[in-house]
Chains A and B, each alone.
Chain A
Amino acid sequence: MKIIHFSVSLLITLALIVLLGSKMFLQAPLAVLLSPQQGVWQNAEPADISYSADFSFPQLKGKAEVYFDERLVPHVFAENDADAFFIQGYLHAKFRLWQMEFQTHAAAGRLSEIMGEKIGTTDVLNKVDRYFRRLGMGYAAEKSLQLMEADTATKNMCDAYTAGVNTYIESLTEGQLPLEYKLLGYKPEPWNNLKTVLFIKYMAYDLAGGESDFEFTAAKNALSKIDFESLVPLRQDSLDPIIPIGTLFDKPGVAVKAPASADSLYFNYNKDSSVLPALPQKPDKDNGSNNWAVNGRKTRSGYPILCNDPHLGLNLPSLWYEMQIHTPHFNAYGVSFPSAPGIIIGFNDSCAFGVTNAGRDVRDYYSIQFKDASRSAYMFNGEWKQTDFRIEHIKIKNKPDFIDTVAYTVFGPVIFDDRYANRNNDGKSYAVRWKAHDASNEMKMFYQLDRAKNYDDYLEAIKNLHTPGQNCVFAAKNGDIAMWCQGEFPAKWKRQGDFVMPGTDSSYMWQGMIPQSENPHVLNPERNFISSANQLPADTSYPYYIGAGFPNYRGWTINKRLSQMADITAQDMMELQTSNYNVFAEMARPVLLQHMNEALLAEDEKKYWDIFKEWNLRSDTGEAGPVVFGLLWESLEKEVWSDEISRIKSNFVPYQSSLLEGILRDSSFKFVDNINTPQKETLSDDVMAAFKKVVPKLKASEIEGKATWAKFKDTHISHLTRLVPFSRMHIPIGGGTHIINAAKADHGPSWRMIVSLTPETEAYGVYPAGQNGNPGSRYYDNFIDTWANGKYYPLWVMKKEEIADKKVKFKMSFSN
């Protein structure tokens, strides 16, 4: 009898342990998560936590101190560079480990390994992992790693950084594991230099992977040349390029020529109805940024001011981690990438530096003709050429591995073939030639920029930047300001690679690279300022084809404002950087007003039209005008374009400027007529039809309490897992697309920085998150309100003798 009692109670105990400790019956292993000594309670950081500590690690060469200020920004003082990078790795890991591993797993096509085959309805295996592998992310990173490790400076830097990350990982107890590991049920693996390079390749994907070659090819196949050029023109009327118009360019060092067959095989407009594949995901089209610098003639202090705000996807934890690194060789302050050593955007004792995306098309596709289904040979220059295969071994959580064998050609990996295609499955194969596949050592740029003393040092540093190409702004205390549109870019004939190219011979391959010295650049221009906001770098006098589709409007506003401003202070720059003025609406409103017959509007419709008419053109939080304008413009685009582009078998979208410039140039713009109706529509018909369709939406948004801009736009910053409780929702902030304050729903100014290069540097900055990636920390999202309100923090460039300053909250000591 007693044995039964014993057995039953023992069984119940074991059953409870299994039930509560596994995900078999419940969503989460509740007991594992809730056990106070190991589970998620351990991540609930005391509000008055002290991060002060003494560490001793044999890998260190000397002593170092880290002083954390009240925002938890570390100020690292090390006796040598290697120790500084070791500590940077340690701190990145301490505050951002899960994010670092997640980002680099994503870059490597390894998300299924930790997240499973699907997240919700998202097919992680096919849309992320196989895609990134077929894009050659791992292949590219391995090549660049070799180059990076062949350079002593960058190898030492990355080795020290990696050692710092791993020292932290090894010190972790079960309870100290970041929260996300506990929730997702896995453990961190050791860090290595390849992961750092993978992260840089992820940035290349995000910033140098925005082409629309398949979409454009589909459009070319369905449209006449004239129509195609109207929808996606090579040059926009409102262009104000990065390099001032009138700048003289040298004769090109590399001559390129379109192949003889181009007219028949490539520029074959309106002649093909085949369906093309579509990339399973694309970077946000507004990945861009603003940067500018003015020289001392325009500032109150007489010294230059440099500003930068990179527009990227906004996430928690942030892409950025703010810090100061001080060694006998350099003293740099700014934001770093958790995953890479060095300061990426920032300043040192001599100069400041920042970037905006160059947005050039450095990824092209070639149609491949395989000999047979084995893909072992492909036609190239009249003979069958042997294929190389790279076997991609994808681990999947709770499932057997997936093995993808990717064919490699002279162009690069075959991204789409009969084994991988998401729109067509007709067996056609396309290889991708991507500049990021070529070995490059971008870490060297950051290594050198952080210690740059003058323009020449800056120029030497940025020569290491090949992909993703960036507009690198520079200003120095000696008064110099400069901008280089830097990267290694293929020299292309006009429209080369805008469409998928024939890949059966070498005639359509890139014929050379633009020599670095011929990249558009400007040093100390007469207008006393430089700026870039992702627009076309140079006017048509630049002797190379640089592509099209660059956003114009932010750059246009910035240049206009900067040319008017004088006696500039850092405060003025804050106002400019957070300006919500909508120049696109300024240009579009007159033509819309002119083509609206208000007499035909009903009372309730008139109310909304008046809001638009009387709007102050600022996309501020409480304005109703931007809601009306935003919806109206979207509706007008549909009204004007959809009849023509519905014939295009792809997600092709014309440039936003094409409609505006088309109707500004000529109100009888050809596309305003709906080709599917017998009568001929006018612009007035379209404006009226577009507006009538918008009114019900405006009424609905009013009922939902979303009639004003911030509520309508609904900016939010999501945790990387998209778990809502770890995200900040409904953030009241104005701005948006085409606006200097480019804050969209989940994308925008990821770091705002203003540096006044006075003898004692005066700098300000803010990013929308916090220094600690732990959702259980009060430093997790404490900068967001400041950011949303357009406010800045003074950036404290701490000096060694200021260790007693009351801003110092915690101190970590490191020794060997």
Chain B
Amino acid sequence: MKLIASVLLTALLSFVICLYMDWWAIAIAAFVVAVFIHQKPLKSFITGFTALFLLWGSLSWWIDSRNEHLLSGKLSLLLPLGGSSFLMVLATALIGALVAGFAALAGSYAREKK
């Protein structure tokens, strides 16, 4: 329960904070949630990771399907990811997930420290 609530809160906070700040603010969101809703380090990591994997994955997936994969196909050639729109979405989700996962991990340790 705590895990699901943390995931949802991290995703929500990340979304809101990124309306006003740069992309890396997702680390702040994941960190803050991990500090206030304390979980074991591994669980916190999973929370941050899952939250941003879902948030960035679903946002980019949603944008991509409305765009009918037009731009992701082009950008995917450029990166290069072989023209695959799916890999573009996956790469997006993983980047957000990694950063938020480690930020949440740090948050968990920060709380344990006390």
Contacts and interface: CB of A to CB of B under 8 A. Distances in A.
A599 B15 CA distance: 79
Given A44-B63, A724-B77, A31 B70 contact: no
Most chain A CB inside 10 Å of its own CB: which residue of B15, B27, B73: B27
Q: How large is the interface on A (under 10, 10 to 19, 20 to 34, 35 or more residues)?
A: 35 or more
Given A3-B113, A17-B24, A724-B77, A37 B15 contact: yes
Interface string A709-747: 000000000000001111000000000000000000000
B78 A9 contact: no
A46 B63 CA distance: 7
A39 B71 CA distance: 12
Q: How large is the interface on B (under 10, 10 to 19, 20 to 34, 35 or more residues)?
A: 35 or more
A33 B71 CA distance: 13
B29 interface: no
A5 interface: yes
Given A41-B92, A725-B78, A31 B24 contact: yes
A32 interface: yes
Contacts of A3: 113
Contacts of B96: 31, 35
A40 B71 contact: yes
Interface string B90-114: 0110011011001101100110110
B19 interface: yes
A189 B61 CA distance: 32
A34 B110 CA distance: 29
B102 A12 contact: yes
A40 B23 CA distance: 12
Interface in A744-783: 775-778
A689 interface: no
Contacts of B31: 13
A44 to B, nearest CB: 4
B43 to A, nearest CB: 14
A36 interface: yes
Nearest to B79: A28
B1 to A, nearest CB: 24
Contacts of A724: 77
Contacts of B88: 34
Given A35-B23, A35-B56, A9 B71 contact: no
A38 B22 contact: yes
B5 interface: no
A16 interface: yes
Contact of B74 (A9, A48, A726, A778): A726
A13 B106 contact: yes
Given A31-B23, A44-B70, A6 B56 contact: no
Contacts of B71: 40-41, 43-45, 179, 775-776
B91 A34 contact: yes
A609 to B, nearest CB: 42
Contacts of B74: 725-726, 775-776
Interface in A9-30: 9-10, 12-13, 16-17, 20-21, 27-28, 30
Interface string B13-25: 0010011001110
A9 B105 contact: yes
Contacts of B113: 2-3, 6
A20 B95 contact: yes
Contacts of B106: 6, 9-10, 13
A778 B70 contact: yes
Given A31-B24, A31-B95, A725 B77 contact: yes
A47 interface: yes
B23 A32 contact: yes
Contacts of A48: 66
A6 B109 contact: yes
A13 B18 contact: no
B37 interface: no
B72 A39 contact: no
Contacts, number: 123
A669 to B, nearest CB: 51
Contacts of B24: 17, 21, 31
Interface in B34-60: 41, 56, 59-60
Most chain A CB inside 10 Å of its own CB: which residue of B71, B102, B105, B113: B71
Interface in A146-191: 174, 179
B71 to A, nearest CB: 3
B60 A30 contact: no
A21 B23 CA distance: 9
B23 A723 contact: no
Contacts of A46: 63, 66-67
A36 B92 contact: yes
B102 A13 contact: yes
Given A2-B112, A36-B56, A37-B59, A31 B67 contact: no
A37 B11 CA distance: 13
Nearest to A20: B95
A95 to B, nearest CB: 16
A5 to B, nearest CB: 5
A647 to B, nearest CB: 47
Contacts of B3: none
A439 to B, nearest CB: 43
A724 to B, nearest CB: 7
B32 interface: no
Interface string B68-87: 10111111011100000000
A6 B41 CA distance: 10
Nearest to B17: A37
A726 B112 CA distance: 50
A555 B60 CA distance: 53
Nearest to B112: A2
A35 B18 contact: yes
A48 B68 CA distance: 10
B60 A41 contact: yes
Contacts of B66: 44, 46-48
Contacts of A2: 109, 112-113
Given A21-B23, A39-B23, A776 B67 contact: yes
Contacts of A40: 71, 75
Contact of A725 (B75, B91, B98): B75
Interface string A37-73: 1111111111110000000000000000000000000
B11 to A, nearest CB: 12
Interface in A358-387: none
Contacts of A37: 15, 18-19, 23, 59
A34 B67 contact: no
B27 A36 contact: no
Contacts of B78: 723, 725
A44 B67 contact: yes
A3 B102 CA distance: 15
Contacts of B73: 725
23 contacts: A6-B110, A9-B102, A13-B106, A21-B24, A27-B79, A31-B23, A32-B22, A33-B75, A34-B56, A34-B60, A35-B23, A36-B63, A38-B18, A39-B23, A40-B71, A42-B63, A44-B64, A45-B67, A46-B66, A726-B74, A775-B71, A776-B70, A776-B74
Given A2-B109, A44-B72, A45-B70, 12 more contacts: A6-B113, A9-B102, A31-B95, A34-B88, A37-B59, A39-B23, A43-B71, A47-B68, A174-B22, A179-B71, A725-B73, A775-B74
The 5 closest A-B CB pairs, nearest first, are A776-B71, A35-B23, A6-B109, A44-B67, A36-B59
